[in-house]
Amino acid sequence: MKNIVILISGAGTNMAAIVHAAHQQRWREHMGLQVSAVISNKPNASGLDWLRSHSEFSEVKSEVLDHTQFESREAFDQALMRRIDLYAPDLVVLAGFMRILTPPFVAHYEGRLINIHPSLLPAFTGLNTHQRAIDAGCQFAGATVHQVTTALDHGAILAQAVVPIVSGDTAETLAARVLSQEHLIFPEAVKHFFKTEAVLLQAT
């Protein structure tokens, strides 16, 4: 059985989309694939409440590792790695995990660490992506699932969704449309990650 660990910091709607897809599409039975745990760095993350309130997802463990209880970013990342590794993850998914990860953490999960970013990378790395796209006069925005590297919002692109920017759009209205597409492409990108891995293993 291949294991997925998802990291969140807040509402965790992308996490919910992945967990729901895994349950509805029976990843465990059809792909030998399961979401083993969801870990938050914030005790009050509403995504944990969502997960715990849905009994049909009871096999997914929920955990908190509060980053404010550590004296350095490095100490937190080391503790987080130890917690994640208890689940022997084949893939670690950043689903609204609002932390800049240290190079040792990224190196530890090299090739099995993915993130979703609310822009059409390589455009608009970093924060405030929707307002920046509007201010730049872009006709399109979107979201990107990508491999995580030590360079912020870089790494191989795994999936993208394109959303038109329409007259009168605000950062909030654009963000809502992009988020609805994130919920579609993120679970599919996770599935494709394992299908691609299987093909590569067979080729060797």
H helices of the chain, where?
13-24, 27-31, 46-52, 73-85, 103-108, 129-135, 171-203
Q: Tokens representing 195?
A: 């299908």
Is 117 one of the catalytic residues? Answer: yes
**b vs e for 138-161, b when ≥16 Cβ sit within 10 Å of the residue's Cβ?**
beebbbbbbbbbeeebebeebbbb
What is the DSSP annotation of 32-55?
A: SEEEEEEEESSTT-HHHHHHHT-G
Identify the active-site residue in 23, 67, 108, 117.
Answer: 117
* Amino acid symbol at 43: P
* DSSP 3-state of 157: strand
CA distance 74 to 105: 9
Tell me the catalytic residues.
117
